[in-house]
Amino acid sequence: MNFKTAIEINSKKTRISETFAIAAMILLSIDTANTFVGQGGYGFLSPLNDQQSGILLGIPSIILFFVSIGFGFREKTRLTSLLLVAGGALLAVSKIVEPTMGLNLFLAVALRPLYIGLILMGFIILGLGVSRMLQRDKLNKNYKRLDQAGKNARI
């Protein structure tokens, strides 16, 4: 495999990863907005109540975030990293705040392991996004160091 082919494959992986992260963020945002607008009843997705929208939109968004991580593994993409951080924060914070507003009480009380699992998933996604950012910065520093060493060797 030559260098150009490797760049094209990496570019496709990056685009696929970004697409999954964008789709996940859109689904999670719609689900969260529906929960807050519905106030425990029907939100703007009127045939779906809060629990149904969580199943149809919330769970697939979490899966899409992890698929995005899988496709973008060891790829340098700022957009995917930022969306992972934002999505993880949105998931974790919304699941912590909703019961204090009287929303999703059934999830928080009766399904406590699932509720805690969703909060942990949010923090895991957030942590993976932060680690990708730190990994990218570390790679950039290494590339700059190697570039400078190459320039010094030529002189």
**Burial of 126: CB neighbours in 10 Å, binned 0-12, 13-18, 19+:** buried
Consecutive 10-residue runs of the chain (155 residues): their mean pLDDT? Answer: 54 88 93 80 72 83 92 81 93 87 74 88 93 74 66 65
Model confidence, pTM: 0.76
Q: Write down the pLDDT at residue 84.
A: 93
Tokens at 89, concatenated: 């924060």
Q: Write down the pLDDT at residue 4.
A: 53
Cβ neighbours of residue 154 closer than 8 Å, sequence gap 6 or more: none
Q: Write down the pLDDT at residue 22.
A: 94
